[in-house]
């Protein structure tokens, strides 16, 4: 029998940090990931990780204020305080784990400026910070003695009498189904970027954990808050890091004007992401762009700086649009990037389901509120990953494994998967349903939204769910059946899409990433509250939760 005190689902930064903490806390711990851990999306993070270090004259309160303001006052200030206070130590821990952060001229850890922050407090490794962090974290994971299930796909959560007792998982290599028992389960399954098309997210970011938790009765929060990043590449939508603007790049319209002067005269290109994305979209809609894009101009930064600090995005530009940023501006536009919302948790990662935790992008603590500051997500994964691991280890000391009929559970899951494989071959293909969903979301839940569009998407999602019921799985094999995995993932994505659209439709104000043309103002009187969505007996149920305000009174947001 496979059983562990703490079972972490997901081996990105949040998952590995949680597992290392749980193991250090004395719990028998395992981590399970549908891809090899270092292929998790955390690996793609480019720009850096935020922390206020006092010996640099920076204070956690300043970081917290920037985060609160960036969130458009929807972030919970008590949780933001926890994150920003812990940031300095978390960064030093990563350095001691072995991350070779870039250094400044004096040999100290170097920083770069990032959007929405009044100070340069983003620590980085070139423009591949996530990769550097993730590989070092993986080394620590190996050292820690955590059991790893690599390339295992979690397909269901097992709950008996309201208490989690484990998960069902498919070993991708063999196609065999297993039950894994656990006293506590921590979801660290990352974002749901692929619900949108295009997205900067890896193809594996399909909201599996968010959907599994939601279907089991977990509350989701702030789901309407979907971040569109200002600089995603024309065509593919691949990310061009904010680090470029952090190092001083300009945004230009088709005539070469720095249009951010009109929208954020002080912070210019380094205003918060929602502000910059709206500015770009407004210019594009007004006909001041080229082919649905504006330009990112890095030429004045010079070849030496670009080669030292932005070499990866330069290569991406050359490979994907044939544009060398040393010599010419590159075409970019706002694109889906990050989920501020997710599984609702407290600062220790606990959800409303006993024994179920969440951390990282799949969770909503809520430290990002309406808009996440660049480089606060890596921080979030590490701080709340560790806290969840600590708490789960402690909690599993006082509970026993819950008995359940393992053979029955395995046989039920096998039958469910077999029925999926046995479907007739005449339905729509997975790719066509996925594209229909992604394009509908990107049409009506992007930078600007309105009631008519969102209602349309909700109708389209209903139709897509119907079509999903008959998508065929063409590969019938057992070994590495990625067709089957894509099919299961599509179901999870559809489960995430409706709560996003429903929450966005319900919120009748504009705040952070949600900009409604039919409700263009922020309405604190009626909408300074979180939207919570939960699966009820007759479908999704919306309710509201207060925003925690400690020391920063909401005010108008200007950059
Ligand atoms: C291109 C890009 C650049 C970014 N740059 C930055 C940056 O510079 N700074 C910053 O702060 N943030 C950045 N972000 C955001 C940040 O990288 C992510 O929010 C963060 O890394 C998410 O980490 P995570 O541990 O929550 O999830 P992930 O790293 O996405 O890991 C999810 C894990 O869950 C596993 N999993 C999912 N479903 C299943 C399942 N069904 N069964 C088993 N395993 C499963 C996956 O295998 C994976 O191991 C960037 C994001 C992108 C997309």
- Residue 43 is given by DSSP the state G
Average pLDDT over residues 181-210: 98
Are 372 and 407 a contacting pair, CB within 8 Å?
no
Model pLDDT for residues 47-57, shown as the tens digit of each residue: 999 999 998 89
Are 188 and 358 a contacting pair, CB within 8 Å?
yes
Q: How many domains does the chain have?
A: 1
Q: Report, in angstroms and rounded to the nearest whole number, the Rg of the chain calculated over CA atoms.
A: 22
Let me know if residue 289 belongs to a domain: yes
Residue 263's domain comprises: 234-332
Model pLDDT for residues 372-390, shown as the tens digit of each residue: 999 999 999 999 999 999 9
For residue 62, what pLDDT band results from cuts at 50, 70 and 90? Answer: very high
Q: How far is the CA of 12 from the centre of ligand 1 (A)?
A: 6
For residue 255, what pLDDT band results from cuts at 50, 70 and 90? Answer: very high
Q: What is the pLDDT of residue 464?
A: 98
Residue 514 in this model has a pLDDT that exceeds 90: yes
Q: For position 248, which CATH number holds?
A: 3.90.700.10
Average pLDDT over residues 65-86: 98
Let me know if residue 79 belongs to a domain: no
Kindly report the protein residue whose alpha carbon is nearest to atom 8 of ligand 1: 47
Phi and psi, residue 530, nearest 5°: -85, 150
CA distance 327 to 324: 6
| Half-sphere exposure in the Cβ direction for 158 (13 Å, CA) | 23
Model pLDDT for residues 383-410, shown as the tens digit of each residue: 999 999 999 999 999 999 998 999 999 9
Q: To test the ligand 1 pocket, which listed residue (16, 189, 211) has its Cβ within 8 A of the most ligand atoms?
A: 189
Model pLDDT for residues 340-383, shown as the tens digit of each residue: 999 999 999 999 999 999 999 999 999 999 999 999 999 999 99
Residue 95 in this model has a pLDDT that exceeds 90: yes
Kindly report the protein residue whose alpha carbon is nearest to atom 24 of ligand 1: 190
Burial of 412 (C-beta count, 10 Å sphere; 0-12/13-18/19+): middle
Is residue 129 in contact with ligand 1, taking CB distance under 6 Å? yes
For residue 24, what pLDDT band results from cuts at 50, 70 and 90? Answer: very high
Let me know if residue 240 belongs to a domain: yes
Residue 299 in this model has a pLDDT that exceeds 90: yes
Residue 124 in this model has a pLDDT that exceeds 90: yes
CA distance 209 to 164: 14
CA distance 64 to 121: 12
Is residue 188 in contact with ligand 1, taking CB distance under 6 Å? yes
Q: How far is the CA of 174 from the centre of ligand 1 (A)?
A: 25
Q: What is the pLDDT of residue 162?
A: 86
Ligand 1, closest atom to CA 362?
A: 26
Q: What is the pLDDT of residue 353?
A: 96
Let me know if residue 294 belongs to a domain: yes
Q: How far is the CA of 238 from the centre of ligand 1 (A)?
A: 15
Q: What is the pLDDT of residue 192?
A: 98
Pairing assessment for the beta strands 356-358 and 330-339 based on DSSP bridges: unpaired
Residue 478 in this model has a pLDDT that exceeds 90: yes
Q: To test the ligand 1 pocket, which listed residue (377, 384, 388) has its Cβ within 8 A of the most ligand atoms?
A: 377
Average pLDDT over residues 221-227: 98
CA distance 248 to 254: 19
Let me know if residue 337 belongs to a domain: no
Question: Which among 41, 245, 273, 391 is annotated as catalytic?
Answer: 245
Let me know if residue 343 belongs to a domain: no
Residue 25 in this model has a pLDDT that exceeds 90: yes
- Sequence-distant (6+) residues with CB within 8 A of 557 are 69, 72, 73, 272, 275, 522
pLDDT over 70 percentage in the chain: 100
Are 347 and 79 a contacting pair, CB within 8 Å?
yes
SS3 call for 60 = helix
DSSP string, 102-119: -B-TTSSBPEE--TT-SS
Average pLDDT over residues 449-469: 98
Helix then strand then coil, % of the chain, to nearest 5 = 40, 20, 40
Q: To test the ligand 1 pocket, which listed residue (35, 94, 122, 130) has its Cβ within 8 A of the most ligand atoms?
A: 130
Model pLDDT for residues 266-283, shown as the tens digit of each residue: 999 999 999 999 999 999
Average pLDDT over residues 250-267: 97
Q: What integer best gives the mean pLDDT of the chain?
A: 97
Model pLDDT for residues 523-541, shown as the tens digit of each residue: 999 999 999 999 999 999 9
Let me know if residue 293 belongs to a domain: yes
Residue 131 in this model has a pLDDT that exceeds 90: yes
Inter-axis angle of helices 406-421 and 482-506, to 10 degrees?
Answer: 90
For residue 467, what pLDDT band results from cuts at 50, 70 and 90? Answer: very high
Q: Catalytic site residue 41?
A: no
Kindly report the protein residue whose alpha carbon is nearest to atom 31 of ligand 1: 12
Residue 498 in this model has a pLDDT that exceeds 90: yes
Question: The pTM is what?
Answer: 0.98
Q: What is the pLDDT of residue 161?
A: 86
Is residue 491 in contact with ligand 1, taking CB distance under 6 Å? no
For residue 206, what pLDDT band results from cuts at 50, 70 and 90? Answer: very high
Residue 195 in this model has a pLDDT that exceeds 90: yes
Kindly report the protein residue whose alpha carbon is nearest to atom 18 of ligand 1: 42
Phi and psi, residue 273, nearest 5°: -60, -40
Let me know if residue 310 belongs to a domain: yes
Q: Catalytic site residue 273?
A: no
Residue 70 in this model has a pLDDT that exceeds 90: yes
Question: With helix as H, strand as E and coil as C, how does 174-204 read?
Answer: CCEEEEEEEEEEEECCCCCHHHCCCECCCCC
Is residue 35 in contact with ligand 1, taking CB distance under 6 Å? yes
């Amino acid at each position: 029998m496979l059983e562990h005190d703490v079972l972490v689902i997901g081996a990105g930064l949040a998952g590995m940090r949680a597992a290392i903490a749980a193991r250090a806390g004395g719990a028998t711990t395992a981590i399970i990931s549908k891809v090899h851990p270092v292929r998790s999306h955390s690996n793609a993070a480019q720009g850096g990780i935020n922390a206020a270090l006092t010996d640099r004259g920076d204070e956690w309160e300043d970081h917290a204020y920037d985060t609160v303001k960036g969130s458009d006052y929807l972030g919970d200030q008590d949780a933001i305080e926890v994150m920003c206070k812990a940031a300095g130590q978390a960064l030093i821990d990563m350095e001691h784990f072995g991350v070779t952060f870039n250094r400044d001229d004096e040999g100290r850890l170097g920083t770069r400026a990032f959007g929405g922050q009044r100070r340069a407090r983003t620590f980085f490794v070139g423009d591949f910070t996530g990769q550097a962090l993730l590989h070092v974290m993986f080394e620590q994971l190996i050292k820690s003695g955590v059991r790893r299930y690599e390339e295992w796909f979690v397909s269901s959560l097992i709950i008996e009498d309201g208490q989690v007792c484990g998960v069902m998982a498919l070993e991708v290599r063999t196609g065999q189904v297993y039950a894994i028992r656990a006293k506590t389960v921590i979801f660290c399954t990352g974002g749901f970027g692929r619900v949108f098309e295009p997205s900067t997210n890896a193809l594996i970011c399909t909201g599996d954990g968010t959907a599994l938790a939601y279907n089991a009765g977990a509350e989701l929060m702030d789901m309407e808050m979907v971040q569109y990043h200002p600089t995603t590449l024309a065509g593919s939508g691949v990310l061009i890091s904010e680090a470029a603007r952090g190092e001083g790049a300009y945004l230009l319209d088709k005539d070469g004007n720095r249009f951010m002067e009109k929208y954020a005269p002080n912070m210019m290109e380094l205003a918060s992401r929602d502000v910059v994305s709206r500015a770009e979209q407004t210019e594009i809609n007004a006909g001041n762009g080229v082919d649905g894009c504006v330009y990112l101009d890095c030429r004045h930064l010079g070849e030496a700086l670009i080669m030292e600090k932005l070499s990866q995005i330069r290569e991406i530009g050359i490979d994907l649009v044939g544009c060398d940023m040393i010599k010419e501006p590159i075409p970019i536009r706002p694109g889906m990037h990050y989920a501020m919302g997710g599984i609702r948790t407290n600062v220790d990662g606990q959800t409303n389901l006993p024994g179920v935790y969440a951390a990282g992008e799949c969770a909503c603590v809520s430290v990002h509120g309406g808009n996440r500051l660049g480089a606060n997500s890596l921080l979030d994964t590490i701080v709340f990953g560790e806290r969840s691991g600590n708490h789960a280890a402690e909690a599993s000391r006082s509970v026993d494994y819950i008995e359940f009929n393992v053979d029955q559970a395995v046989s039920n899951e096998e039958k469910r998967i077999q029925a999926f494989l046995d479907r007739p071959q005449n339905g729509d293909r997975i790719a066509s349903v996925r594209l229909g969903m992604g394009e509908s979301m990107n049409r009506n839940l992007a930078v600007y939204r309105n009631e008519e569009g969102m209602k349309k998407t909700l109708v389209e999602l209903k139709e897509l769910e119907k079509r999903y019921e008959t998508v065929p799985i063409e590969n019938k094999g057992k070994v590495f059946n990625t067709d089957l995995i894509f099919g299961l993932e599509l179901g999870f994505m559809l489960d995430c899409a409706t709560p996003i659209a429903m929450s966005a439709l319900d919120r009748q104000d504009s705040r952070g990433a949600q900009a409604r043309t039919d409700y263009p103002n922020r309405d604190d009187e009626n909408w300074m509250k979180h939207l919570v969505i939960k699966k009820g007996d007759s479908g999704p149920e919306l309710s509201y939760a207060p925003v925690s305000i400690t020391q920063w009174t909401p005010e108008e947001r200007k950059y």
